[in-house]
């Protein structure tokens, strides 16, 4: 219907940081607040969708009507994403997934050594979750985020092509009060239209409103492509 244009659609969203264990008490992570992903989840419910939110550790309440799946590491997040990707219509990768994890997390707490001033940690690449989902035969419509500090559009377009995404939300994280941790965001939406790439520049606005703009754009694309 007009008020619930996402009725009948299954939406899966990743949000927040991942936590990569070093030993039983330590981890590698980042400052992602999860606010944009949670705003997308709330907006998708309001539009009538069935929403699954795969969330790294964040200090946010689960939005009304959202089914939340808590994960910690990138590998856990990938497993949840693969499991929920079946019959998924729209997948949004909003999580700040750690690019690397410790190759071999210690089984017991690492001890400080008095005889060594340096310590080497070997890291290995984490799987690219959104690229895995986009590579599926039964792929949903896939939206990725590109957080950049310069050449926003160039990197955004590159990500769209390289990860085979349907849409990229490119946001400038170098501006004060926008992006990481903030309540507001500005972004350029980029999407494939045949061989061309279309764009829609969204001014600074609350993440809730930007979330709605992203979803409405995606829904109109979903209805005009084979994904519908
Ligand atoms: O390549 P980059 O990390 O900048 O791409 C960001 C986009 O890819 C985001 O949508 C993010 O959620 C997703 N991503 C992912 N798995 C990774 C790294 C990034 O799903 N390992």
**Ligand 1: nearest atom to the Cα of 98:** 21
Q: Tens digit of pLDDT for each residue in 29-58?
A: 999 999 999 999 999 999 999 999 999 999
Which tokens hold the place of 47? 């539009």
Ordered by where they begin, the domains of the chain are 10-100+124-225 (3.40.50.10300)
Query: CA-to-CA distance for 10 and 49, rounded, in angstroms?
Result: 6
Expressed in angstroms and rounded, the spacing between residue 96 Cα and the centre of ligand 1 is 7
Q: Which among 130, 156, 158 is the best mutation to test ligand 1's pocket, defined by most ligand atoms within 8 Å of the CB?
A: 130
For the chain, give the mean pLDDT: 94
User: Cβ atoms within 10 A of the Cβ of 28, count?
Assistant: 18
ipTM for the whole complex: 0.97
Please give all residues whose beta carbon lies within 6 A of any atom in ligand 1, as ranges: 14, 74, 93-95, 97, 126, 128-130, 144-146, 159
Q: Tens digit of pLDDT for each residue in 80-92?
A: 999 999 999 999 9
Q: Tens digit of pLDDT for each residue in 127-142?
A: 999 999 999 999 999 9
Q: Which among 90, 145, 218 is the best mutation to test ligand 1's pocket, defined by most ligand atoms within 8 Å of the CB?
A: 145
Expressed in angstroms and rounded, the spacing between residue 113 Cα and the centre of ligand 1 is 36
Nearest CA, atom 17, ligand 1: 128
Nearest CA, atom 21, ligand 1: 128
Band of pLDDT at residue 224, cut at 50, 70 and 90: confident
Produce one character per residue of 182-199: b if its CB has 16 or more CB atoms within 10 Å, e if not: bebbbbbbbbbeeeeeee
Residues taking part in catalysis: 30
Q: Tens digit of pLDDT for each residue in 169-184?
A: 999 888 888 878 888 9
Expressed in angstroms and rounded, the spacing between residue 118 Cα and the centre of ligand 1 is 31
**pTM listed for this prediction:** 0.96
For residue 59, how many C-alpha atoms fall within 13 Å in the half-sphere facing its CB?
A: 2
Q: Which residues contact 147 (CB under 8 A, 6 or more apart)?
A: 96, 171, 173, 179, 180
Are 13 and 52 spatial neighbours (Cβ–Cβ below 8 Å)?
yes
């Amino acid at each position: 219907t007009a008020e619930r244009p996402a009725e009948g659609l299954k939406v899966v969203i990743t949000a927040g940081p991942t936590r990569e264990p070093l030993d039983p008490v330590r981890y590698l992570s980042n400052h992602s607040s999860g606010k944009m992903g949670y705003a997308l989840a709330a907006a998708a419910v309001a539009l009538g969708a069935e929403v699954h939110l795969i969330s790294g550790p964040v200090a946010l309440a689960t939005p009304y009507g959202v089914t939340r799946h808590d994960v910690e590491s990138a590998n856990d997040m990938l497993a949840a994403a693969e499991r929920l990707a079946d019959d998924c219509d729209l997948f949004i990768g909003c999580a700040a997934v750690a690019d690397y994890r410790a190759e071999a997390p210690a089984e017991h707490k690492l001890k400080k050594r008095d005889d060594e001033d340096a310590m080497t940690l070997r890291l290995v690449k984490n799987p690219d979750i959104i690229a895995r989902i986009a590579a599926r035969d039964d792929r949903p419509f896939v939206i990725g985020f590109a957080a950049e500090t310069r050449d926003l559009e160039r990197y955004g377009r590159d990500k769209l092509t390289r990860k085979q995404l349907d849409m990229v939300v490119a946001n400038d994280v170098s501006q004060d009060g926008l992006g990481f941790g903030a309540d507001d965001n500005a972004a350029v939406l980029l999407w494939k239209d045949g061989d061309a790439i279309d764009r829609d520049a969204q001014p600074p606005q609350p993440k809730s409103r930007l979330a709605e703009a992203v979803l409405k754009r995606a829904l109109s694309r979903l209805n005009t492509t084979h994904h519908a």
